[in-house]
RNA sequence: GAUCCGGUAGCUCAGUCGGUAGAGCAUUUGACUUUUAAUCAAAGGGUCCCGGGUUCGAGCCCCGGCCGGAUCACCA
């Protein structure tokens, strides 16, 4: 592959460094006793602190002015300016370290270790007066150079999504705000996990490779196990396994994990995504709504510092209680039509009236879902529980205790998007078998996403599952809300991309 | 999968009517001991995404493809 001019220069510099007897990739570590952010926040000239510091990072800018230079060092916490004076670095006759190594052979992007002391420059910027530096890793590729002026205005921003996502490492280096998004994502999971642990619920792991892709309605990825010579599916959900654990006697289990769905990709969908599923015995969906309110309020506070979060043009209040509307109430509120008594034909006519396309494979549940998706969802900006779904849409939820034809289910909508789904779980094995059979009928009618029947799961229910409430939260979408990002790609380190065109390479 | 928009130097982008390929940053050389989008002087750097076509001549027009984004469809 042909190297660019800058890559050639860097490789030549590398060679010269080696000729000077310097290892460009030394094996030993470097003492890091402080980070950039700590110095910037805590240095006070009067206190004379940070006078023997040792840190490491990447050179992000260099301003050489003859016998002295400024550089910008970036570590995980931020950027700090270095001041390098020739005669301080090279007290003796030999000025090679400064004149040759620092001025000529180091490049932007090189990783160096630095020892020195904090001070303030004439213009008042906290900086490090370098007494010693060492090359820790030579960079052979030029980074995009993003400049910022005093007001923080960005020039030549590195924004091309294709490059940013394919080379996320570069994105993380030159766009510090990107790192903050992922720190928040990590904090979100950590915060939620701590909340569950405090309640004594057990974090578990269940199979990703499943012989039957149950627990949700979606097209799976299919693979094959050679030794067993059987097809296996990457899980589209883990619900049925977690319930088996409730049958087994755990009273609260949860799992953060990747799910895989062989569907389209867009701003809110990636083929693999992270969900959190939790099942708690002896609870129902009413209890679960309270738990969700408490959990999200706390998570929001711990991740963003506030229960109120800016998302696009909206301010979302995560402190409960959240508005509750039944599915029928919600549809009536936003269309003026009461569909609660309608049969499949009447619903089909209603769809027509509302200019919603239908097809013959759609059952009653699907038709209601269409109306809801088309006319209601977009209006649910503040956190809203939509409750009591038609039974046809929800084969794993328990029938409503008082409303015929409905199940005890809620979904939480925020900013017009579903972020959580929960049931009073169906634990009646006879009813569950019938529901699966209904799904089979839908499948025969052409519904590709109807749920598969899982005999072993039914066997587990037949042993008896305590009354249980279960909840699933889309972690990526929650992360999008809490970091004010409008694309799922921005909250995944490595979003799925088509493979790059393979470049011709010499063997 | 459909429609629209985009792909030009390492990066961000201009490129007029189809007529020698442009800028800023980065890079190279030189100057400079408190600069900070450092500055000053000079220089080098291009498979214009790929493949066809039209034309005397294509970065530009036409056809096909690849990759990305947006919107829609499907889905969470």
Question: How confident is the model over A35-52, as pLDDT tens digits?
Answer: 999 999 999 999 999 999
Q: Is nucleic acid strand B under 7 Å from A4's C-beta?
A: yes
Report the protein residue whose CA lies nearest the C1' of nucleotide B27.
A6
DSSP state of A93: S
In the block, tokens 């590729």 appear at: A141
- Residue A473, pLDDT > 60, answer yes
- Residue A6, pLDDT > 50, answer yes
Q: Is nucleic acid strand B under 7 Å from A400's C-beta?
A: no
- Residue A106, pLDDT > 90, answer yes
Report the protein residue whose CA lies nearest the C1' of nucleotide B50.
A501
Per-residue CB contacts under 7 A with strand B, chain A residues 278-337: none
pLDDT in tens, A322-354: 999 999 999 999 888 888 888 888 888 888 888
Q: Is nucleic acid strand B under 7 Å from A158's C-beta?
A: yes
Report the protein residue whose CA lies nearest the C1' of nucleotide B1.
A264
Question: Residue A2 CA to B20 C1' — how many Å?
Answer: 26
Nucleotide nearest to A447 (CA to C1'): B74
Q: Is nucleic acid strand B under 7 Å from A83's C-beta?
A: yes
Q: How many CB atoms lie within 10 A of CB A454?
A: 20
Average pLDDT over residues A12-22: 95
Report the protein residue whose CA lies nearest the C1' of nucleotide B46.
A4
pLDDT in tens, A300-328: 999 999 999 999 888 999 998 999 999 99
Average pLDDT over residues A189-193: 97
pLDDT at residue A350 in the model: 85
Please, are residues A366 and A356 in contact by the beta-carbon 8 Å criterion?
Answer: no
Please measure the distance between the N-terminal and C-terminal CA atoms of chain A and give it in whole angstroms: 10
Nucleotide nearest to A10 (CA to C1'): B27
Q: Give alpha helix (H) positions in A32-156.
A: 36-42, 86-89, 96
Of A1, A5, A121, which Cα lies nearest the Cα of A71? A121
pLDDT band at A297; cut points 50, 70, 90: very high
Q: Is nucleic acid strand B under 7 Å from A87's C-beta?
A: yes
pLDDT at residue A346 in the model: 86
pLDDT at residue A124 in the model: 92
pLDDT at residue A446 in the model: 66
- Residue A267, pLDDT > 70, answer yes
Protein-covered nucleotides on strand B (Cβ within 7 A): 1, 6, 9-13, 24-29, 31-39, 44-45, 47, 66-76
E-assigned strand segments in A270-313: 272-281, 308-311
At CA A385, angle to CA A380 and CA A391, rounded to 5?
110
Please, are residues A400 and A394 in contact by the beta-carbon 8 Å criterion?
Answer: no
Q: Is nucleic acid strand B under 7 Å from A448's C-beta?
A: no
Nucleotide nearest to A142 (CA to C1'): B10
pLDDT in tens, A349-396: 888 888 787 777 777 878 888 888 888 988 899 999 999 998 887 899
pLDDT at residue A1 in the model: 55
- Residue A289, pLDDT > 90, answer yes
Per-residue CB contacts under 7 A with strand B, chain A residues 198-227: 216-218
Q: What percent of chain A has pLDDT over 70?
A: 97
Q: What percent of chain A has pLDDT over 90?
A: 74
Q: Is nucleic acid strand B under 7 Å from A79's C-beta?
A: no
Nucleotide nearest to A267 (CA to C1'): B70
Beta strand A78-85 pairing with A68-75: antiparallel
Question: Residue A319 CA to B20 C1' — how many Å?
Answer: 67
The CA radius of gyration of chain A, in Å to the nearest whole number, is: 29
Please, are residues A85 and A68 in contact by the beta-carbon 8 Å criterion?
Answer: yes
pLDDT band at A252; cut points 50, 70, 90: very high
pLDDT in tens, A405-464: 899 999 999 998 999 999 999 999 999 999 988 888 877 776 666 777 889 999 999 999
pLDDT at residue A155 in the model: 85
Q: Is nucleic acid strand B under 7 Å from A119's C-beta?
A: yes
pLDDT at residue A507 in the model: 23
Which has more pLDDT, A500 or A164?
A164
pLDDT at residue A211 in the model: 92
pLDDT band at A501; cut points 50, 70, 90: low
Which of A19-28, A152-161, A238-247, A293-302 has the weakest average pLDDT? A152-161
Q: Is nucleic acid strand B under 7 Å from A11's C-beta?
A: no
Angstrom distances, CA of residue A381 to CA of A28, A305, A308: 53, 21, 13
Kindly compute the dihedral angle of the four CA atoms of residues A16, A21, A22, A26, in this order, to the nearest 10 degrees: 130
pLDDT at residue A448 in the model: 64
For residue A28, whether the previous peptide bond is cis, meaning omega lies within 30 degrees of 0, is no
Q: Is nucleic acid strand B under 7 Å from A151's C-beta?
A: no
What average pLDDT is seen over chain A? 91
Handedness of CA A197, A245, A204, A294 (dihedral sign): negative
- Residue A506, pLDDT > 60, answer no
Please, are residues A84 and A71 in contact by the beta-carbon 8 Å criterion?
Answer: yes
Nucleotide nearest to A107 (CA to C1'): B27
């Amino acid at each position: 592959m042909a190297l660019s001019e800058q890559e050639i220069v860097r490789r030549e510099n590398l060679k010269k460094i080696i000729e000077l007897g310097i290892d460009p990739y030394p094996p030993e570590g470097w003492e890091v006793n402080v980070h950039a952010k700590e110095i910037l926040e805590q240095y006070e000239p009067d206190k004379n602190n940070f006078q023997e510091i040792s840190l490491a990072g990447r050179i992000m800018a260099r301003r050489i002015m003859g016998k002295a230079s400024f550089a910008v060092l970036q570590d995980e916490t931020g950027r700090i300016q270095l001041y390098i004076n020739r005669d301080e670095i090279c007290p003796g006759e030999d000025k090679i370290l400064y004149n040759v190594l620092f001025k000529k052979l180091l490049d932007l992007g090189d990783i160096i270790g630095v020892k020195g002391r904090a001070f303030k420059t004439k213009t008042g910027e906290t900086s490090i007066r370098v007494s010693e530096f060492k090359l820790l890793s030579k960079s052979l590729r030029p980074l995009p150079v993003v400049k910022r002026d005093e007001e923080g205005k960005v020039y030549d921003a590195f924004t091309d999504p294709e490059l940013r996502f394919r080379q996320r490492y570069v994105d993380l280096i030159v766009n510090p705000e990107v790192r903050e998004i992922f720190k928040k994502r990590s904090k979100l999971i950590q915060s939620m996990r701590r909340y569950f642990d405090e309640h004594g619920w057990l974090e578990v792991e269940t199979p990703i490779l499943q012989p039957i892709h149950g627990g949700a309605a979606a097209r799976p990825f299919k693979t094959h196990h050679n030794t067993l010579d059987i097809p296996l599916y990457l899980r589209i959900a883990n619900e049925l396994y977690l319930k088996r654990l409730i049958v087994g006697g755990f009273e609260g289990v949860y799992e953060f994990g990747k799910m895989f769905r062989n569907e389209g990709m867009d701003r809110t969908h990636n083929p693999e995504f992270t969900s959190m599923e939790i099942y708690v015995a002896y609870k129902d969906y009413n209890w679960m709504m309270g738990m969700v309110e408490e959990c999200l309020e706390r998570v929001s506070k711990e991740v963003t510092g506030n229960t109120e979060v800016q998302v696009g043009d909206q301010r979302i209040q995560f402190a409960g209680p959240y508005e509750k509307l039944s599915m029928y109430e919600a549809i009536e509120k936003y269309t003026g039509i009461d569909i609660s008594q309608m049969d499949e034909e009447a619903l089909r006519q209603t769809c027509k009236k509302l200019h919603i396309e239908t097809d013959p494979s759609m059952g009653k549940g699907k038709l209601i879902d269409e109306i809801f998706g088309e006319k209601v969802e977009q209006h649910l900006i503040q956190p809203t529980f939509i409750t009591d779904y038609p039974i046809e849409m929800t084969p794993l939820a328990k029938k409503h205790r008082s409303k015929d034809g409905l199940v005890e289910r809620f979904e939480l909508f925020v900013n017009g998007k579903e972020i959580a789904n929960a049931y009073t779980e169906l634990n009646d094995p006879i009813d569950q078998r019938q529901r699966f059979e209904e799904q089979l009928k839908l499948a025969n009618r052409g519904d590709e996403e109807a749920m598969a029947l899982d005999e072993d799961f039914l066997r587990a229910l037949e042993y008896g599952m305590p009354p249980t409430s279960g909840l699933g939260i889309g972690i990526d979408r929650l992360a999008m809300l809490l970091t004010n990002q409008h694309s799922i790609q921005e909250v995944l380190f490595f979003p799925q991309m088509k493979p790059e065109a393979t470049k011709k390479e010499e063997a």
